[in-house]
Amino acid sequence: MRIIRDYQFVSDSDRGATAAIGNFDGVHQGHLSVINIAREALPEAPLGVVTFEPHPREYFAPDAPPFRLMSSAARSHQLQKVGVERLYELGFNNGLASLSPEEFARDVIKEGLGLHHVVVGADFCFGKGRAGKAEDLFRFGEIYGFGVTIAPLMAKGSQTVSSTAIRAALTSGETRKAADMLGHWHRIDGPVISGEQRGRELGYPTANMSIDGLHQPAFGVYAVLVDVLEGPHKGKYHGVSSLGVRPMFGENKANIETFVFDFKGDLYGAPLSVALVEHLRGEEKFDSIDALITQMDADSMQARAVLAAL
């Protein structure tokens, strides 16, 4: 997959694609539907996705609580897995934000990226102040010579599939509901960072990962699937994770700590992908270290049982 980050400097070989446009946070089933419609619209053209970095919501409200379901790197990896050949990850800045809907259609889609056909969701908004709607893009396509398909929103039962709905499910600890909308387990990706090695002292050495910039699922303990993506220990494992601020040990920044079952080795610096399968319990503060260890033993047994049933 080729990644293009500036619509003003696009090579001839990267023009002529059919592309889905949106933020694609989570790359959920609604996103996949839009991508598949783009795939089928012009099968002979390269399949592309147009997205933005940073997310426009981050640009306009930089001090708001983190909300993203995945980092840009994780999104790129997932889009590549589903067959996207051209990722137009456009830098969202004042220049792009100030374009009118017609300027976006003409200067970015037609003249900049040279797209032949685009697909957007029915709730798509674009241009300065989100003034442009999907129907406006269809009209501009007729004017400037590119095709436009407006994809219907996807629903699961009475629930519209959206990143907002997935965030709400994760906040409530409803990992399987989130996975049903995503089409895959919700994952936290990133390198293993150094911690305070308390887990090792307790008999539960953990791989620690930052969740900075990401939406925070319900704090507590999870049964997880662990993918070590590179290095000598590359492979798939089962485990149990604690996500939160570790109230037994004072005030701490939220992170995720994962005990990988039946594993021996060093994972520092290794890229991991941790899938949240089931929320086993909320975060707690125990009366003693012994009580904590007893609960960790029970958590591990419960996580093994959950994962064995998959």
Please give the average per-residue pLDDT across 198-205, as a whole number: 76
CB-facing half-sphere around the CA of 199: CA atoms within 13 A: 18
Residue 122 has pLDDT above 90, yes or no: yes
Domains 2-156 and 186-308 share a fold: no
Write down the catalytic residue from 257, 278, 283, 284.
257
257 among known catalytic residues: yes
Q: Between residues 247 and 275, which one has the greater pLDDT?
A: 275
Give the separation between CA 290 and CA 202, rounded to whole angstroms. 9
Give the separation between CA 114 and CA 17, rounded to whole angstroms. 7
Nearest partner of 34 among 3, 79, 88, judged by Cα: 79
* pLDDT for position 201: 67
**Torsional class of 207: left (φ above 0), alpha (ψ -120 to 50), beta (otherwise):** beta
Please tell us whether the domain made up of 2-156 is placed in CATH 3.30.750.24.
no
Nearest partner of 28 among 196, 168, 221, judged by Cα: 168
pLDDT tens track for 58-104: 999 999 999 999 999 999 999 999 999 999 999 999 999 999 999 99
Q: Measuring CA to CA, how many Å separate 131 from each of 24, 43, 60?
A: 20, 31, 15
Give the separation between CA 92 and CA 88, rounded to whole angstroms. 12
Residue 3 has pLDDT above 70, yes or no: yes
| Cβ neighbours for 288, distance < 8 A, ≥ 6 positions apart | none
CATH architecture assigned to 186-308? Beta Barrel (2.40)
> Mean of the per-residue pLDDT values for the chain?
95
* pLDDT for position 250: 64
Residue 297 has pLDDT above 90, yes or no: yes
* pLDDT for position 158: 81
**Torsional class of 231: left (φ above 0), alpha (ψ -120 to 50), beta (otherwise):** left
- Domain chopping of the chain, boundaries: 2-156, 186-308
* pLDDT for position 202: 73
Q: How many residues does the chain have?
A: 310
pTM attached to this predicted model: 0.93
Percent of the chain with pLDDT over 90: 89
Between 175-182 and 29-41, two packed helices, what is the crossing angle to 10 degrees? 10
Name which of 16-20, 133-137, 169-173, 190-194 the model is least confident about.
Answer: 190-194
Three-point CA angle 8, 5, 12, nearest 5°: 55
